[in-house]
Every structure is written in C-alpha cells, then in structure tokens.
Amino acid sequence: MASGIRATIAFADPGDCPIAATAAQVETPIEQVSTSIGSDTAESVTEFLAPSDLEPPAGVEPAFSYGAETIYRTVHGDEVCCPCECLGTHGCPVHRYNAEDGTLTLVFHASDFETLQTIVGDLRDRYPPVDVQRLLQPPLDGSPEGRVFVNRGRLTDRQLEVLETAYKRGYFERPKRANATELAAELGIAQSTFTEHLMTAQRKLLDDALEVDADRA
C-alpha cells in the first residue's frame, strides 16, 4: 500500500469558504476545525470554534455555545464553492485547517503524486493563486524520520543557476574545487551577488527540509 503524500497549500482567495470568511470578520485565526460525513448520506458537515458575538456568514449556523465562544456548523452540498469541497470531490481528507485574515491554509493527504498533481491543477484553476508550501511523504519502511520533498519552484531562475553552478564546480566539497570569486566571474556577476543568491537559495531549501515556516524572499 502506498504511503501517501501530505501537502500544505495556502489560498489567498479561497472562494466562498465560510471558515476563511469568518476569520476575516473576527480578525482572529481559526484552527479548531473538524469535518464529518453522515453514515446514511454522503453529506459532509464542517464545524469550527469562533467567538460567539459574530454575525455568521451565509450557510453557517451556531451549533453549541460555550459562553464567549461557539461551535459553528456548515453543511456541504453538491456544488463546489471552496477548496475544502474541491478536496472532497477528490476523496482527500483534510488533516488541518488554518484561516487567518481571509487566507486559508489546508494540510491534506493524497494517495500518490499523480493524484496530487491532478488536485493541485484543479485547485489552481478554481482558486488562483495557490501556494504549495510543503510536501511530505512518510517513509515506506516505517522509520520515524519523514521523507521531505523540497519545493524547488521557490527558487528564482538566477538562484537555481547559481546553486547548480556551485554544486557542479565543487564549491561545496572539502577542499573546495572552486571559490566564490571564480564562480561569480564564470556567471558574469559580482561576488557579493553570487553570495547573496547562493545563501538565499540554501535558506529556502533548508526551510523546506527542516519544515520551518518562513515568509521570506
């Protein structure tokens, strides 16, 4: 059995997502979210915790009150109106939600890369722009370490060119087979520019490899 892939994707414009709309209204992150499917029907229900004094967006009703906070409920129909419903059409469970300032971030599981590519393509068509923040595939041998897939698309063309040149010319070997001055001359750029591109590229890849959330260029 395939181990599956866990993807983290952010949506700056998540359509008619009631959770994102609520988070934007109350100016408070919403993370306590759960979705269930009825035993007699395929209808799914999403519940989330938010302040009790809000005016719920369309399609959202209060379910249980806990004083200052309330559990709100929304029922998903056949029409796809938000990324969560889109994922439901692909049979992919949402592992974690985060809604803040109108932006929605979802962590979900796909069975394989082919399925993931189809899902991401569908999401990009429906809810651009889509930011694929992280991909993680659990190891097949059951060891505790995770196999992390870095997003090389985060690098600019120039950053990738500098990184590849440095690697191929032995910059990372010990002892080095080429130094920054030589590689900068080869690329036709200043040494300071070479160093800046190289450090930025390494930082971006390490953010993914170490699963660090970083909003940096």
| pLDDT band per the 50, 70, 90 thresholds, residue 140 | very low
DSSP secondary structure letters along 182-197? HHHHHHTS-HHHHHHH
Q: Which two tokens stand for residue 194?
A: 């070479």
Report d(CA 39, CA 42) in Å as an integer: 7
Q: What is the tens place of the pLDDT at every residue in 183-193? A: 999 999 999 99
| Dihedral pair phi/psi, residue 66, rounded to 5° | -125, 45
Q: What is the pLDDT of residue 102?
A: 82
Nearest Cα to Cα of residue 213 among 92, 88, 98, 47 = 98
Q: What is the pLDDT of residue 154?
A: 75
Q: What is the tens place of the pLDDT at every residue in 39-81? A: 455 578 899 999 999 888 888 999 999 889 999 999 887 788 8
Nearest Cα to Cα of residue 146 among 130, 157, 155, 135 = 135
Give me the mean pLDDT over the 110-126 stretch: 89
**Can you tell me which residue has the tokens 């953010």?**
207
Q: What is the pLDDT of residue 189?
A: 93
Q: What is the tens place of the pLDDT at every residue in 120-132? A: 999 999 998 888 8
